Amino acid sequence: MKYILMLFSIIILRCCWGPTGFQIMTQQQDNDTILKELSGNYKINTLEGEDVSSYKLGITFNDTTKQVSGFSGCNRFFGSYILENNSLKFNSLGSTKMMCRGEANTIEANFFKALEKASLVIFKKDEILLYNKNSFLLSATKEATYSSLKLEYKALSRGIYKHIIINEETISTVNKRDEKPIIESCNQEEWNKLIAIFKTIDIGSISNLEAPSKDRFFDGAAIANLKIIYKDSIYSTPSFDHGNPPQEIALLVKEMLSISQNIE
């Protein structure tokens, strides 16, 4: 009798359970505010429940050509994919043939198995989840784009004037007051270097940076300032000596000046 009551209780509980997390996510895919497309670069965070972020796995989707490529922990890989609503299938996956350490090889093998088994993609804000039916395979975060990023450096004194503005498309430099800016295209290599440095900076805290020297107060250096415009927000440093920026932004300022000098 006790066994029958326990069994009956379990049945009642199962009947009363709400939808699973997986069911909720699939239902949310009908939400028109969720962008359901694969495009750009994604960083792999988890693989079959394991945190693999330290292995720098990545995957890039080209929405126009339906080609896919990326880094699998040891080698570069490439192939194609088919996406129909939330149904996903990878085709003709191939890779380079570099030999790596055992752990990297294991991660890579598991990653390829996950891609081969993938049949469903769940779209979330800036994230995708891959499933084989309702079995979770991996999660990936879409890497931020930097098309809205603009970097501006200005230095001025009685004898010095420099104003540099760099975005994804152009480099603008003014070296004298009332002079027209010299404008040239920003090539991908230059932009990638700036982005790599920008990622290391906590832009939310640059307004609190302390200048390492005070020569600008005694005409010993031009007064300099760095302004970063990103995602419709403006982040600006306090003034500092031209030639001696705070350490936190020193590499970025150095690279901006170097790029600017190359077009003068």
pLDDT digit string (tens) for 54-113?
A: 998 999 998 889 999 999 999 999 999 999 989 999 999 999 988 887 888 999 999 999
Residue 136, helix vs strand vs coil: strand
Domain that holds residue 258: 150-262
pLDDT at position 18 is 47
50 with 132, same domain: the answer is: yes
Chain segment 234-263, per-residue pLDDT in tens: 999 999 999 999 999 999 999 999 999 876
Residue 170 C-beta-side C-alpha neighbours within 13 Å: 8
* Domain presence at residue 9: no
Q: Rounded distance, CA 37 to CA 86, Å?
A: 9
pTM: predicted TM-score of the whole model, two decimal places: 0.54
Contact 105, 82 (CB under 8 A): no
Question: Does 198 score more than 60 pLDDT?
Answer: yes
pLDDT at position 58 is 92
Q: State which of 93, 126, 142 marks the end of a domain.
A: 142
76 or 3, which is more confident?
A: 76
Q: State which of 117, 142, 167 marks the end of a domain.
A: 142
120 with 47, same domain: the answer is: yes
Q: Rounded distance, CA 116 to CA 91, Å?
A: 8
* Domain presence at residue 121: yes
78 with 117, same domain: the answer is: yes
Q: Rounded distance, CA 163 to CA 154, Å?
A: 4
* Domain presence at residue 13: no
* Domain presence at residue 3: no
Task: Determine how many CB atoms are found less than 10 A away from the CB of residue 241.
Answer: 20
Q: Rounded distance, CA 8 to CA 4, Å?
A: 6
108 with 166, same domain: the answer is: no
* Domain presence at residue 8: no
Beta strands (DSSP E) in the chain are 40-47, 50-51, 58-62, 67-71, 76-84, 87-95, 120-124, 127-132, 135-142, 150-156, 161-167, 170-174, 182-185, 223-230, 233-236, 240-241
Q: How far apart are the first and last CA of the chain?
A: 91
Question: Does 10 score more than 70 pLDDT?
Answer: no
Total of domains in the chain: 2
Q: State which of 116, 142, 168 marks the end of a domain.
A: 142
Contact 61, 77 (CB under 8 A): no
159 with 257, same domain: the answer is: yes
166 with 240, same domain: the answer is: yes
